[in-house]
Amino acid sequence: MYTNERMRHMLFTPITFRNVTLKNRVVMPPMCMYSAADDGMVTDWHVTHYATRAVGQVGLIIVEATGVEPRGRISNRDLGIWDDAHISGFKRVVEQVHAQGGKIGIQLAHAGRKSEVVNSTPVAPSAIAFNEEYSLPTALTVQEIQAVVQKFAQGAKRAVAAGFDIIEIHAAHGYLINEFLSPLTNIREDEYGGSIENRVRFLQEVLIAVRNVIPAEMPIIVRVSADDYHEDGNTPEIVAAMLNLVKHHGIDIINVSSGAVIPVMPRAYPGYQVAMALVIKEITQLPVLAGGLITEPAQVLQLVKAGIDLVYTGRELLRNPYWPLQAAHLLQQDVAWPEAYLRGKW
């Protein structure tokens, strides 16, 4: 049984996945900045935004959902990694984060039927629109599925070339991989639909393709929606069962979120996804990254005490990029400050 003092200490001690060591358990999750132009290129905004969180001593920064192809973006203002021309911009971001002693990952994504890219037809496992305000997607053929798998692999190769420490595969929030996982959006009758073995096949093929093109020492995170919030949808137990079928292909961490595969809003409160994460951790025996409206250091302590390995805090890090430094002070933990800011240390 850990004491509160031991919990406080654990928050600010290093943790290692494969050959990547994070300085603490605080993670900035992917959050779209809508600050790219239609070409998907990194801008000065992205460099400043991510580097600032590294100055604030965030343990792991994960770059926003980045489209593996143009129609795979959520909007025309999202980042892309479908072209070698994108690499140099991401290198700028990675170098600035590394210069401040931080670690950084990138979320490889495909928006599927929720893409709102102008002059583009969205794709999905089945031709079902998200709601009446979204376009009707085209159901992918098996050949087209294989092409998208390769786009994830190509994006991963570019991420390695840019110097990222970690790859996250976006399989949550109602985007393409999540659409294959959920029976609410996948009504296919071929090898990609029906049973959990079939519904997880697309994620499995993406994992294999990505793992084959990245260094063995590079960790992979998979972000999942643990609950569809519908009686006929996925639950944490079902999602965990699917993850158990594919985890041997190189998953190192499960990033647990929930919802957004259908237009249903969950009842959100601080830590509302933690119980789901703990179910997935128990069943899969994989480390978990979890959160949800976490704003206070005491809340992070409780999550670590409950067994969560890494804690994400998104909105709070938008408001306060130096939140880890403030949290360390409030928890009476002495952590390294950037030399330039020592005069401001509590």
The tokens for 25 are: 């358990």
63-116 tens-digit pLDDT: 999 999 999 999 999 999 999 999 999 999 999 999 999 999 999 999 999 999
Distance CA 233, CA 242 (A): 13
pLDDT confidence bin for 181, thresholds 50/70/90 = very high
3-state SS, 244-265, equals HHHHHHCCCEEEEECCCCCCCC
What fold does the segment set 4-344 form as a domain? TIM Barrel (3.20.20)
Residue 2 in this model has a pLDDT that exceeds 60: no
Distance CA 300, CA 278 (A): 15
231-288 tens-digit pLDDT: 999 999 999 999 999 999 999 999 999 999 999 988 999 999 999 999 999 999 999 9
pTM more than 0.85: yes
* Cβ proximity of 122 and 196 under 8 Å: no
Distance CA 68, CA 175 (A): 13
- Per-residue burial over 148-174, b if 16 or more Cβ lie within 10 Å, else e, is bbebbbbbbbbbeebebbbbbbbbbbb
- Secondary-structure percent of the chain, ordered helix, strand, coil, rounded to 5: 40, 15, 45
* Cβ proximity of 294 and 27 under 8 Å: no
